[in-house]
Structure 1
């Protein structure tokens, strides 16, 4: 058995997380996705995780005419939707004490790209499939 599969999530998770509020408009998400290397935004309310908004979910919601010559007022109104209208509720999460094997199994089982990391209910990070691949191929 490869010992790399026993690496704890806390060793490789990203602790620099970006959160948005449930009632934030998609214009806020657009600003973050356009200017930061993040593909998943954690949606909170009263400092508690409520959902996750992936860049893929965000793009699926927008009109394809946003930003081009065919854009209409109706198209631009799609950016006024709220995060809670688009996010995935009750996201699958993981504890920092779990292993990259367990994280990999969750990602595959649920066909998702990231897992918020909760430590005793407190949001402490996020782990993505890229983090797992990076940890797996990293030299010891």
Structure 2
């Protein structure tokens, strides 16, 4: 099997200038653990629940660009699932944006591949 057979198409994204509050709303509403960060049509980072932890007291005043992980590890839609698993485990990340010709087309996660996240998911703080 290959990545495009299990990936989630057209994932919900965020922009680098959005507040972390707005990104957190998207995460909670969709039941996601991470959001690709898109600027001018290009993938520039990824924002995970884990990235929000240091900013829990300033979600309203911090923008995604400050908290995101820049230049995320990506995978091609034609990559094998074995390759995706090796990347996820080797880099200890929970998801890989799927990029084709420089454009984000999907995302594949540890849960898509039926193995546990590499790090514990943080608890949400109630507001």
Normalising by structure 1, report the TM-score.
0.77
- Tell me which residue corresponds to 2:80: 99
| Root-mean-square deviation over aligned CA pairs | 1.3
- Tell me which residue corresponds to 1:37: 31
Within the candidate set 76, 93, 98, 1:117 is matched to 98
CA displacement at 1:16 relative to structure 2: 3.7
Question: Whose helix fraction is larger, Structure 1's or Structure 2's?
Answer: 1
Query: 1:58-117: per-residue Cα shift (whole Å, max 9, x none)?
Result: 134213xxxxxxxxxxxxx44310000000000000000001100000011111000000
- Tell me which residue corresponds to 1:47: 41
Instruction: Work out whether 1:9 is the aligned partner of 2:31.
Output: no
Considering only CA atoms, is the larger Rg found in Structure 1 or Structure 2?
A: 1
Gaps (5+ residues) in structure 2? Answer: 116-127
Would the aligned equivalents of 1:8 and 1:97 in 2 still touch at CA under 8 Å? Answer: yes
- Tell me which residue corresponds to 1:137: none
Runs of 4+ aligned residues of structure 1 deviating over 3 Å after TM superposition are none
Partner Cα distance (1:79, 1:25) in 2 = 6
Aligned residues: 115
Gaps (5+ residues) in structure 1? Answer: 1-6, 64-76, 135-140
